[in-house]
Amino acid sequence: MEYIIKFNKPYNFEGKEYTEIDMSDIESLTTQDLASIDKKYASSGQVDALKEMTVSYACILAAQATSKPIEFFNYLPAKEGVKLKTMVTAFLYV
């Protein structure tokens, strides 16, 4: 599986333009990382039986995998956020 998300339009974040995001390091996540991501999700006040299927969870996981700040993912255009959620869900469940 390719872990590159290509953006429909350039995305500007903190003065830098991005046309894609490389999520390849998602393969390096450990169970301990997932536990940390779960804690961050819970501490944000969100509750969901299938948290791994939410955009919020995908953003936290992506931040962990890429070492980019969570804000990078939180402010993606909606369409790109859905691509991110789809990739994270596929990674976890396929």
Q: Which residues, at least 6 apart from 17, have a Cβ–Cβ distance to it below 8 Å? A: 10, 11
Q: What confidence tens digit (pLDDT) does each residue in 11-31 have?
A: 999 999 999 999 999 999 999
**pLDDT for the residue numbered 49:** 82
What's the average model confidence in pLDDT over 30-47?
93
Q: Which residues, at least 6 apart from 67, have a Cβ–Cβ distance to it below 8 Å? A: 25
**pLDDT for the residue numbered 28:** 96
Q: What secondary structure does DSSP assign to 60-93, as a single string?
A: HHHHHHH---HHHHHTS-HHHHHHHHHHHHHHHH
Domain boundaries, the chain: 4-93
Q: Which residues, at least 6 apart from 34, have a Cβ–Cβ distance to it below 8 Å? A: 61
What are 13's strand-pairing partners?
16
pLDDT at 86 over 90: yes
**pLDDT for the residue numbered 48:** 81
Query: What global pTM score does this model have?
Result: 0.92
Q: What confidence tens digit (pLDDT) does each residue in 63-78 have?
A: 999 999 999 999 999 9
